[in-house]
Amino acid sequence: MKYNVIYNENKAHEIELKDNKIIIDGQNADIDLVHIYKEKYHIIDNNESFNIEVVRADFQNKTFEIKVNDTIYPIQLEDELDMLLEKMGMSAVGSNTMDNVKAPMPGLVLRITVDVGQEVNKGDNLIVLEAMKMENIIKATGTGKVKNILVTEKQAVEKNQLLIEME
């Protein structure tokens, strides 16, 4: 499983847990990790000792506060699904406010199910996009208001093309 760990104002590291190994930014990490008690851990890395404690965990928003020795760090986690959605121009992590909508794949716009000025909530249908003879419903990832619709029905679109601007 891969994770993107974001900290210190958008600094990030990709962490992969694979076959009982920890891989950080593509490099095998020689880390000795011991679970001590509940949310407390001990790590030895390059002959340095670190006491780690999960101070606060918000699993729904994937935000955490981690205490390393005596310093608390806020972090944000993105899992593989979050990273894939980000790559497709959608964001699953963060606020409940909806970002602009981009085409996740090339295709043909079959239906637009919202109007300019319309308020949308998470899960609402926005556009039906046909790709590889399948209908794909693009849904709202959060709340927002439709500012502008940049495509029309029966229009071909490319991957990552801006479809809807949100306020």
How far apart CA 24 and CA 41 sit, in angstroms, is 18
69-to-58, 105, 106, 114 alpha-carbon distances in Å:
21, 45, 49, 51
State the Cα–Cα distance between residues 43 and 104, nearest whole angstrom.
40
Mean model confidence pLDDT for the chain? 85
Indicate whether 94 pLDDT > 70.
no
pLDDT the model gives residue 93: 47
Which has the higher per-residue pLDDT, 30 or 49? 49
CA distance 84 to 92: 10
Cβ–Cβ < 8 Å for 143, 94: no
Q: Which amino acid is at 70?
A: D
List pLDDT tens digits, range 56-78. Answer: 887 777 888 889 998 888 888 88
Exposure string of 119-142, with b = 16+ CB inside 10 Å and e = fewer, is ebeeebebbbbeeeeeebebebbb
How is the chain split into domains, by residue range? 2-80, 95-166
pLDDT digits 0-9 by tens, 141-152 = 888 899 999 999
Please state which CATH class domain 95-166 belongs to: mainly beta
pLDDT at 113: 95
Secondary structure class of 87 (helix, strand, coil): helix
Q: For residue 47, give the DSSP letter.
A: T
- ∠ at Cα 7 (4, 83), nearest 5°? 25
- pLDDT, average across residues 14-33: 83
Q: What is the pTM of this model?
A: 0.47
